[in-house]
Chains A and B, each alone.
Chain A
């Protein structure tokens, strides 16, 4: 079964790999000569700058929030995570509004008779900055968890050996946190390479925008696939680096009985300074764009046509809920398959099944679209010949293909928390159930599932948020008569009706923020 699921998940990537050897389309030479170097350069540049900036924001805010006492610490601790609730393309739209000529910043500054002129954000550097302030929480969360579990004894040991606070950080904490930092940055990079909306809006040509351009601009699917394949190679290289990094040095975990890091008291200017440094990323990544969107929503409130918008909301929620359900179900199947299967190599293969999250949405979309078309053709032929019935396309341009794509992309998001929680279930409990005469399936139903309930719920919520935010994949695969909030916001923004994009954007954020708060509570409790 693990094999079946893996194949099911692996089809898009597999298809693209195979297609790589078929050669690209006609305009490939043109693209390769004029555009590809630019795509590569831009994507790598973005990746580099975003890695540096997210590392800076993420590590600094995580360390300050764990090590120091400052104003509003408890609120800021989770405010720092919230930029994740705003999809980066929406942050990009909001900042375009803030820095535009006659935008919010200009207006605010002119109130205090200050004119800085126009700051041009619509460039690759602007894009890198926007993506960084929107994605740094991946590094923040990874580092914060790591720091929280460090022992004060390490710091004390460093102190009695004659070192000060700065040396503790640079010689001990920072090098030790390297795996956590790299882990966070890898997630950031996957998001950066996945991004379509922000890059498109800021007019920066990346791999992902290139895929769209060659498919919808040049009408050449083969070229799009070729680009997707190249992107996939880069992504796999990243994954390999990450795995090697993890395996390179096993750091002995500090024993649980040791004391947690002590929180340093700060006062006066130091306290104000630390508070400012911690507020900054939260403000840039969450509060400022949210304020801009709220402002737009308020000024456009009367013009909003609620009927169609509500319909979009329900379609969005429905699709997200169904996709999340499918994801969790698939993750459970994969888990069962893994547990009841004793063939090691199958389990190794199953690991591939959860790599979907690493593959950009546009690539998955391409990888599903083409095989879907072949499958439909074959099915219609087959049904037509055997039953003489005419039928419509089953996959292509239907919700089924969309859901399938979501499952491929977000299976890992559901699988990882469930596995983590499963590992905490004591094996003895399962043996106890079996010794009481219950079979494996009964045990699974009556013991494991109830114990996993919080994890299943958590997994559902995580996938739900991700599906609500997802743009590139949805844009390609969604049926004509279906609309999601993400696509709605994107279309308004690209039609230069950015003010109208505010309401759908806010609705996406709302569906993201509430569960994030809920999850944070859940994490704190455990």
Chain B
């Protein structure tokens, strides 16, 4: 186990805000992880605890089975060899790119070679003599990455690495960063609020809410077996299916459970195992798909469809395999 976290707690403002609450998890070497959560979910605090930038109130953190953080012991951040890429990069403005990258490397022979190697790795050969403000945002991002990788960390944490970028650049950089980290072969953790980023880049996603770890799973498992409606809502809009509505579809639900369908899992052509008559209230075109508002009995549903309905009354169907059920 590269990193083990055992019942970790961290509060702020004399415990008024509980940023990390009874969190336990295990990260393995060589894998890529994503901490996914909304702002205030505690994912950034957890990353800062791992890096040693904060001290926990309770619980332990182990790196390679060695204790690095607990209530009474704190290995300082500068001694952990854990890399951190900051949200706004935090490049040192008065140092050149090369000197930024060299900053964390000890003054041994081969320092210059290591800097050159890093510049090549992030595809910035020849940029060493420039200053951070002289290069673009995407390039700054890569310098920050190179700087964090240069001292050969055991683990690297990336705090919202793509949040400053527009969606086009985001996709491009996501692939780039992923490739760089794969080549470096280092265990990395992406901290993000964007589910798509998390899914695209990681082997495992850890979803956080209000300081608690809700689920740790591969992207595939996370999508198909979400542990709660909250996790499922990261990817799609869910349609709530109360028992009375399920009855209209001739589906008998368990009253100890709650049921949901993703809004694009309804079929407006009457196909599927469970079907009911629905009245089309209105249709909005969003470009590649449509929002369709329908009424089943007394229930108003907002669905997503690739084709607009042709008649004002349709057969609305769905498959049992798509139904999400959770313990109430």
Contacts and interface: CB of A to CB of B under 8 A. Distances in A.
Nearest to A253: B93
Contacts of A161: 78, 103-104, 147-148, 151
Main secondary structure of the interface of B (DSSP, over half): loop
Interface in A150-172: 151, 153-154, 156-164, 171-172
B48 to A, nearest CB: 8
B53 interface: yes
Contacts of B93: 176, 251-252
Given A153-B88, A156-B86, A162 B94 contact: no
A157 B53 contact: no
B51 A160 contact: yes
A524 interface: no
B103 A158 contact: yes
Most buried by B among A160, A161, A175: A160
Interface in A165-197: 171-172, 175-176, 178
A168 to B, nearest CB: 10
A156 B53 contact: yes
Contact of A162 (B81, B86, B87, B92): B81
B84 interface: yes
B286 to A, nearest CB: 32
Contacts of B148: 160-161
B257 interface: no
Given A157-B92, A162-B81, 20 more contacts: A151-B90, A153-B90, A154-B92, A156-B53, A156-B86, A158-B103, A159-B76, A160-B148, A161-B147, A161-B151, A162-B78, A162-B151, A163-B78, A164-B76, A175-B94, A176-B92, A176-B93, A250-B133, A251-B133, A255-B88
A154 B132 CA distance: 13
Given A159-B77, A160-B83, A160-B84, A249 B90 contact: no
B104 A162 contact: yes
Contacts of A175: 94
Contacts of A254: 88
28 contacts: A153-B86, A153-B87, A156-B51, A156-B77, A156-B86, A159-B52, A160-B77, A160-B80, A160-B84, A160-B148, A161-B103, A161-B104, A161-B147, A161-B148, A162-B78, A162-B81, A162-B106, A162-B151, A164-B76, A171-B103, A172-B94, A178-B94, A249-B131, A251-B93, A251-B133, A252-B132, A252-B133, A254-B88
Interface in A232-261: 249-252, 254-255, 257-258
Interface in A73-113: none
Contact of A156 (B79, B84, B104): B84
Interface residues of A, number: 25
B97 to A, nearest CB: 13
B198 interface: no
Contacts of B131: 249
B261 interface: no
A157 B78 contact: no
A367 B151 CA distance: 62
Nearest to B48: A156
A164 B78 contact: yes
A160 to B, nearest CB: 4
A267 to B, nearest CB: 16
Interface string A128-158: 0000000000000000000000010110111
B82 interface: yes
